Amino acid sequence: MDYEKAIKWLYDRQDLGIKLGLENIRKLIRSIPKEIDQLPIIHVAGTNGKGSTCAFIDSILRHCGKKTGLFTSPHLISFCERIRVNGKPISERDISKRINDIKTLVNDWNEEPTFFEITTALALEYFVDEKVEAAVLEVGLGGRLDSTNIVKPKVCVITPIGLDHQHILGESISEIAKEKAGIIKSGVPVISSHQHEEARLVLETKSNEVGAPIKFIDELLATENISLKGKHQRENASLAVAAVKTFLPNIKTKDCLKGICTTTWRGRFEQFRQDSKFDIVVDGAHNREGALALVSTWKEIYGEKKGIVIFSAAANKDLKSIIKSLSEIASLIIVTDPDTPRKLADYNEICRHFPKDIDVRKEPSVDKAIELARTLKGHILIAGSLFLVGEALAIIDNKRQIFEPSDQ
């Protein structure tokens, strides 16, 4: 199969939905004759900041001369972004070959592996073949039953835990924290960001149960020379430095600082100058804590200036909390529908949560929404969904032709 056919076959697996559990991925890994259990892994779970923290860790390790593998999700523009070695996305040729091999392998299985199970196996196999010296794995959803949880890492990392995906992970911080804590393993050090009291108690209890030393990073790095914007990114960078120091005990702080000041991670308060006066800001905030961090960063950079907000959100999100935050910095809202199989929040439901004094308009496509926003005078903010952010970046980058919609 060529890349187009291979990736279509893989995307068709999204119709199987999200199936939490480790039986299928274990079977798949056993069928691949690779020494996956020998990979030196840093495993990252949490609610907010997972991707940014992974990017910081990867950048630090590369500055220390390590060959790295990085596995994250979802992608923004192209599937290849999910799997990187030394910062370079996997090639379409490699994707095609590996998907074809897996397709042949699972052809007669009674229960087909899901999109994310196949993607996880593909990434781990690729990292073994590339002989990476450190593999950074981001949990897809939760932790305990996530496909990535078949690994025995060198370090476990937990970013801030908050309310998200409650329909799957639980309605309370404690319930969600139990799922995230599922990646904690006997004897493996755990590095956690500062947590809500309920989440902290769950993580401490789990660590004590299995005999895993745990350290909470409650103090931030003294430096403000961090490439990603916002106080929350300073928290993510502090967590990343602590994780790498645990993974590589002899690393020097100055090497860590070089890594965090050159980290790039797209769609996280990413700014584009649209003319001499106004910017376009693209940010993947899609839950309460993410929206709060976004608004804080906006005010830090733009003060009291408000923006034209292009917005969309998945149907299962906490619209009330997200919109309450975004309303503080919005002069006008343009609601749109990104190209994704994911069920989106209804326009009327979105409008119901915005204050009456904010004008809310509807545009059927992201292209049209950006086109309208550019005719108005002001900074533009695109936020609410990573699927919206991915499509917006494809448009801004003039890469519409290679944009690959996804819902996982």
Q: Minimal CA–CA distance to 310: which of 290, 330, 286?
A: 330
- Determine the Cα–Cα distance for residues 86 and 67; give it in Å rounded to an integer: 6
- Looking at residue 406, its pLDDT comes to 85
pLDDT value, residue 16: 80
* Number of other CB atoms surrounding residue 304 within 10 Å: 6
Say what percent of the chain tops pLDDT 90. 85
Q: What gap in Å lies between CA 248 and CA 236, rounded to an integer?
A: 18
**What pLDDT sits at residue 316?**
86
Do 251 and 278 belong to one domain? no
pLDDT of residue 166: 79
pLDDT tens readout for residues 336-382: 999 998 889 999 999 999 998 999 999 999 999 999 999 998 999 99
Kindly write down the DSSP assignment for every residue of 229-253, as one continuous string: -SHHHHHHHHHHHHHHHHHSTT--H
313 lies in the same domain as 376: yes
Shared domain check, 325 and 229: no
Cα–Cα distance for residue pair 127/124, rounded to 1 Å? 5
Cα distance between the two ends of the chain: 23
Cα torsion through 8, 12, 18, 22, rounded to 10 = -80
Contact in structure between 402 and 391 (CB atoms under 8 Å): no
Q: Has residue 253 got a pLDDT over 90? A: no
Q: What's the pLDDT score for residue 165?
A: 80
Residue 149: how many other CB atoms lie within 10 Å: 22
pLDDT the model gives residue 371? 96
In contact, 141 and 20? CB cutoff 8 Å? yes
Same domain, 18 and 62: yes
Give a three-class secondary structure readout of 95-116. HHHHHHHHHHHHCCCCCCCCHH
Task: Give the tokens for residue 207.
Answer: 């660590």
Whether residues 125 and 9 fall in one domain? yes
pTM value? 0.96
DSSP, residue by residue, 19-77: ---SHHHHHHHHTS-S-GGG--EEEEE-SSSHHHHHHHHHHHHHHTT--EEEE-SS-SS
- What φ, ψ does residue 355 adopt, rounded to 5°? -60, 150
Residue 68 predicted with pLDDT over 80: yes
**Residue 64 belongs to a domain:** yes
Residue 172 shares a structural domain with residue 226: yes
Which residue type does 24 have?
A: N
388 band by pLDDT with thresholds 50, 70 and 90? very high
Parallel/antiparallel/unpaired status of strands 83-85 and 68-71: antiparallel
What would the DSSP string read from start to end of 344-364? Answer: BPPHHHHHHHS-TTSEEEE-S
b/e sequence 152-177, b meaning 16+ C-beta within 10 Å? ebbbbbbbbbbbbbeeebbeebeebb
Q: Are residues 249 and 317 in the same domain?
A: no
CATH of the domain at 388: 3.90.190.20
Q: Which domain holds residue 306?
A: 270-402
Q: In what order do the strands lie in the sheet with 270-273?
A: 270-273, 279-282, 380-383, 307-311, 330-335, 359-362
**Dihedral, CA of residue 16, residue 20, residue 24 and residue 28, to nearest 10:** 90
Here the tokens at position 251 are 């690393």
Residue where one domain finishes, among candidates 213, 234, 260: 260
* Order of all β-strands in the sheet with 83-85: 88-89, 83-85, 68-71, 134-138, 41-45, 155-158, 190-193, 214-217
Could you give the count of Cα atoms lying within 13 Å of 314 in the half-sphere of its Cβ? 20
CATH number of the domain residue 223 falls in: 3.40.1190.10
pLDDT of residue 359: 93
Q: Is residue 407 part of a domain?
A: no
- Contacts of 106 by beta carbon, 8 Å cutoff, 6+ apart: 28, 112, 113, 118
At 179 the pLDDT is 93
Is residue 265 included in any domain, yes or no?
Answer: no
pLDDT for residue 407 is more than 90? no
Q: What is the DSSP letter of 81?
A: G
The number of domains in the chain is: 2
313: pLDDT confidence band, cut at 50, 70 and 90? very high
Is residue 408 situated within a structural domain? Answer: no
8 Å CB contact between 87 and 62: yes
164-213 per-position pLDDT tens digit: 887 878 889 999 999 999 999 999 999 999 999 999 999 999 999 999 99
Q: What is the pLDDT of residue 163?
A: 80
Residues 240 and 311 in one domain: no
In a domain, residue 128? The reply is: yes
